[in-house]
Amino acid sequence: MPFGQTIGGARTALARGLVAGSGLAVLAACAPTAAPLYSDTTTPVVLTTLAEAGIADLRGRYRAALCRRLPAGGPRCDDVLLRLPGEIAPPSDIPPPDALRRYRVAFVPGLFAECLRALARPFSDVIDGLSRAGVDAHYFSVSGRGSTAANAERLATQIAALPDDPRPLIVFAYSKGLPDLLELVLRRPESAARIAAIVSVAGAANGSLLADRHLTAYRQWLSALPLASCGATFVSNGGGATVPPCQCRSSRS
């Protein structure tokens, strides 16, 4: 193999490794710091049961649905899903769900997903399974290194481009995809009106001050890393300032 090709391949492998490793580090930085359980300013709370709080306990139904889908010879269901006290067994005659007729489903990926789409596409296996089951499922792409404001606009464009359908969307958002989606709800009420529910999958719901602390490192190492599948520049947050993708500005009320 020519020496130049060897160097080029090594650089490509190194770039992919840097993106994967740095992505994990930034995701870890997005985790909110745990607040003290009690303090002098803690608001009084009342400990009560789920039923008395008006919350439907669907743990039993979820367990039954999950256990049916585990592969034969794989791990036991109790090894996959933690069983907490008070879980109610599901009814034996669960009626077939009508969600196929009532809702559409969409998925929003997280940080660097666009940059690594040649290696893996988040939720792809789930979307294929839902489509085979008759669910109208969609994948909303967002910029792997874009700001929440820019990705909110990108989501609004994709929602507006969906075929006319009165059924609302249930949107599953992973990691930074959640603040991207929450920014959409904040900025675009016409798009938010088409969403019935948002499901967070390890979402960075509250943002993190660590994102600001790592801004310099992001600018130096990741913002201009040459990746053909995602932009290498910062995107304006709408006010003229540029922001790194992990600054979760949707945490404001």
Residue-level pLDDT at 238:
40
Out of 10-14, 87-91, 186-190, least confident range: 10-14
For the stretch 136-195, pLDDT in tens is 999 999 988 888 899 999 999 999 999 999 999 999 999 889 999 999 999 999 999 999
pLDDT of 223 over the 80 cut: no
Distance CA(204)–CA(31), nearest Å, equals 7
Residue linked to tokens 């709370």: 45
At residue 65 the predicted structure's pLDDT band, cuts being 50, 70 and 90, is confident
Residue-level pLDDT at 216:
79
pLDDT of 19 over the 80 cut: no
Residue-level pLDDT at 16:
54
Distance CA(184)–CA(160), nearest Å, equals 12
Out of 88-102, 191-205, 222-236, least confident range: 222-236
Q: Which tokens sit at 70? A: 């585990």
- For residue 148, the surrounding DSSP H or E stretch is helix 148-160
The CATH class, in words, for 103-253 is alpha beta
- Cα 93 to Cα 4, 61, 64, distances in angstroms: 66, 11, 12
Q: Which tokens sit at 175? A: 């990691």
Model pTM score: 0.63
pLDDT of 109 over the 60 cut: yes
Mean pLDDT (whole number) for 104-123 = 83
Residue-level pLDDT at 51:
79
What do you get for the CA distance between the two ends of the chain, in Å? 58
Out of 3-17, 74-88, 193-207, least confident range: 3-17
Mean pLDDT (whole number) for 92-116 = 80
